[in-house]
Amino acid sequence: MSLTLQGIVSAVGGILAGFALAGALLWRQQQALTAARYEATHDEVTGLPNRRLFVRRLRAALADTAPVGVVLLDLDRFKTVNDTLGHDSGNDLLDQIGRLLSGIPAPVRVAARLSGDEFALLVLGDRDDTAAAARAAWQVIAAEPIRVVNGELTVAASVGYTHVHTDFATSRQLLAQADTAMYEAKRTGSGVCEYLPHRTPAARSRNRH
């Protein structure tokens, strides 16, 4: 091989190697960006959408002017699980609850973990659909003991739900209404409670939103 041809081959090889390296770096950057976006919108314990993504999906549903319902629930006496069995059992329980809720069929479109032991469901349906989803969430949690790393736990939840009452409802209003109803369910021990403006005292909402 002549020196000129050898030089050309070496140069081409160097260029191809540079392309390969650049491609590998670009792929890694894309992977890192995808992972960062996922972590920003999903809960690390359950893998469910987090509050940010849930609110985004709720706002999109409201913008479509379709019937929308929101279900909120939290676990009764969850702090006792962490205090007595440890945070590993608590996280395991949250993960199992997330799996149960994400298995509830349509018209539930999104199951999310908002914070702590609080979960939310986005329902694309009418008032009866939202009520059915709320009851299904309560039943699937209480149906049987849930296995965690340290044994089995009998779990109960307090569930509140609301449905779009006006054409001008916002995501903040719906979350606050469902939260108020959830607080009322916990206060009365009723398990499931619907938000009704004339009946549910708004001042009792924990107003975390």
Residue 46, in any domain of the structure: no
Shared domain check, 21 and 112: no
pLDDT at 167: 72
pLDDT digits (tens, 9 = 90+) for 58-94: 999 999 888 999 999 999 999 888 888 888 899 999 9
Would you give the DSSP letter of residue 104?
S
Same domain, 27 and 118: no
Q: Strands 146-148, 108-115: parallel, antiparallel or unpaired by DSSP?
A: unpaired
Instruction: Name residues whose C-beta falls within 8 Å of residue 64's C-beta, 6 or more positions apart in sequence.
Output: none
Based on the residue annotation, tell me whether 83 is a catalytic residue of this protein.
no
Local confidence band at 130 (pLDDT 50, 70, 90 cut-offs): very high
* pLDDT given at position 208: 47
For 170-183, write each residue's pLDDT tens digit.
999 999 999 999 99
Beta bridge mates, 121: 71, 111
Range of the domain at 33: 1-41
Residues 6 or more apart in contact with residue 82 via CB below 8 angstroms: 89, 90
Q: Are residues 55 and 33 in the same domain?
A: no
Domain count along the chain: 2
- Whether 34 and 58 share a structural domain: no
What's residue 51's pLDDT? 97
Structural domain includes residue 154: yes
Question: Is 209 domain-assigned?
Answer: no
Is 37 in the same domain as 55? no
Q: Which entry of 117, 128, 129, 179 is annotated as an active-site residue?
A: 117
